[in-house]
Structure 1
Amino acid sequence: MSEPFERSRPKTRSRLLEAAYTVFADVGIELGTVEMICDRANFSRGAFYSNFGSKDEIVIEAVKAFVGQRLVDSEEFVDSLVHRGFPADPADAIRQIAAKITGGRAGIIVMNEVRMHGVRDERVAHEYLQWQQGLLAQVQVIVQRFLAAYELQTNLSASHAAELIFSVWQHTSLTAAISGLNDEEIALAVGDATAGILASFASTTAMAQTPRAPSAVSMLASICVEAAPRDPMMAFADRIRPLASLEMVQTEHVSVYYRVKEVDVQVIPAADGTIATITYGADFPAPVNGVSIGDAHERVTAVLGDAHRTWPAAHPNDILIWDTPAFFRVDVDRETSRVARIWR
């Protein structure tokens, strides 16, 4: 075998692994074929079989390559934290580490494809379980280094903690992907879930009293601002649930509404299953159409112009309404002349 061929073989193998990974993410392992992988990598079947004995072999190898790189990135990130100092808040460090490990929607799809393939194929199952043990050992090292950095103690062994965290990653990432979250949102969801599980078994005041991450609150606020009347209520609920609870409330005046209490938002559904009205309460942390809770009356009109109309009946607040380009209502507290509530 010639020397140039020897030097090119690792590149060929790497391209085939990358192609297999994308094919399995796009169409699944059962429908993905050697021909599709070769086409994606722009190689012949001969090149494929010079590197892999079968499709089953490249299935496991593709996952090993992908997750292995993620763990290397995570370990290098932890190394960098050791040198420059960990964040004061342990939960922030957890979220940063989880973001490095989380592989986005494609990675989640392929990982779950491999698990299901292993359920059907004993040979794949054996390979996968062996690889998973090695993966857990690497996660255990990361957990140990994190606990040592913050002088945390747990009632669990490091191996059991790693298994628990790994299970949380699997469940949270899959739920987030099914709910339609993008890669950044998935990473935030996994980070928050990991912080929560560590807080439950790490005995430290700093960990136990860590408040909900501002990043998570910001993500919830962003989802609530992006939602609009006539959007499907179910789609909105699916985006919210991986990050927060969606509480159903029944009242005398409205048959039912849903509350995202973490950001003080209420959503009233329409009879056809879409969103009818969204209201943003006193604790909502983000601007809506350029207007924020607590803004002065003068700033509202500076941003939006004069209101098209006001509330026709008596009300404790001044009610300002804009009808175009879409209905928008601002409740201004008469005593403070500041925005108390926003409606869309």
Structure 2
Amino acid sequence: MPKGETKRRPRTRAALLQAALETFAEYGFRAAAIEQICERAGYTRGAFYSNFSSKEELFLALFDAHSERVVRRMTELVDSIDTEDLTVQALVDVLCEIEPAERDWYLVTTEFTLHAIRDRQAAWVLAQHDARLRAQLARALTDHLARAGRTLTVDADELARLLIAIREGGLAQSYVEPDQLPPGRLERRFLEPLLTALTTESRTP
């Protein structure tokens, strides 16, 4: 592969990912055409197929990038808190951070989830990516709670499932009724007592 192509490939891929997110959010995953994504990104179909084999593979790349970004952002915010100030409530405040751009991602991932429910193969593949996200989240939660002096009394993977369900369910209601339920409000009200009930104070040596 020529050196110029090697250097261009990450930029091409990044442009296609961003264009796909915008196109999926605007038209929907099923209705969006590869040609629309290419046109928005400023690349040809050949460039698309040199990076992705299908819209499904493109979505899953978006999914992984978004998951890594969310977990990394959460870890950075928690790490910026002094250990003596890191309480369960402080951790909850980090978990409740919802960026304005999250709405587009919510639209895209919700539609793909519905697609996966109807398609057994898509469901199997999505489940593998979901599992990787939960593993990252479970590790981060366990580590952050330990810094806050708390130890989980439940399975970390199951807790990650619950937190994802709460976040996605809360966002669904918030995007339908934004004036009545701003994003993150339910989590701010209920996650602190929930996490306290599902953890115990760590023993000090």
TM-score when scaled to structure 1? 0.53
1:95 maps to 2:55: no
Report the counterpart of residue 147 of structure 2 in structure 1.
149
CA contact (8 A) 1:98 1:187 kept: yes
Aligned length: 201
- Structure with bigger helix share is 2
Bigger mean CA deviation after superposition, 115-124 or 95-104: 95-104
In structure 2, what is the Cα distance between the partners aligned to 1:102 and 1:167? 19
Residues 181 and 50 (structure 1 numbering): CA distance in 2 closer, same or farther, change over 3 Å? Answer: farther
State the distance in 1 between where 2:149 and 2:115 align. Answer: 41
Q: Is the 8 A contact 1:102 1:187 kept in 2?
A: no
String of CA shifts for 1:164-203, please: whole Å, max 9, x gaps: 2222122112221222359x93134444443343134234
Tell me the equivalent position of 2:24.
24
The runs of 5 or more residues in structure 1 that have no matched partner are 205-344
1:99-118 correspondence to structure 2 within 5 Å: 99=97, 104-118=102-116
TM-score (norm 2): 0.86
8 A Cα contact 1:64 1:131, kept in partner: yes
C-alpha distance in 1 between matches for 2:109 and 2:85: 31
Q: Is the 8 A contact 2:142 2:151 kept in 1?
A: no
CA RMSD of aligned residues (A): 2.5
Please give the per-residue CA displacement for 1:131-165, whole angstroms capped at 9, x wherever unaligned: 01111011111211222122224431222222222
CA gap 1:18/1:175 in 2 versus in 1, 3 angstroms: same
SS in 1 for 2:29: coil
Instruction: Name 1:10's counterpart in structure 2.
Output: 10
Distance in 2, matches of 1:40 and 1:59, equals 16
- Kindly indicate whether the alpha-carbon contact (under 8 Å) linking 1:154 and 1:201 is maintained by their aligned counterparts in 2: yes
Q: Deviations over 1:223-270 (max 9, x none)?
A: xxxxxxxxxxxxxxxxxxxxxxxxxxxxxxxxxxxxxxxxxxxxxxxx
- The 2-side partners of 1:189 and 1:103 are apart by 19
**Percent identical residues:** 25
Bigger CA radius of gyration: 1
Give the direction of change, closer, same or farther, for the CA distance of 1:180–1:100 in structure 2 (3 Å limit).
closer
Higher strand share: 1
Q: Structure 2: state its 5+ residue gaps.
A: none
Aligned to 1:51, the other structure's residue is in SS state coil
Aligned mate of 1:185, from 182, 185, 191: 182
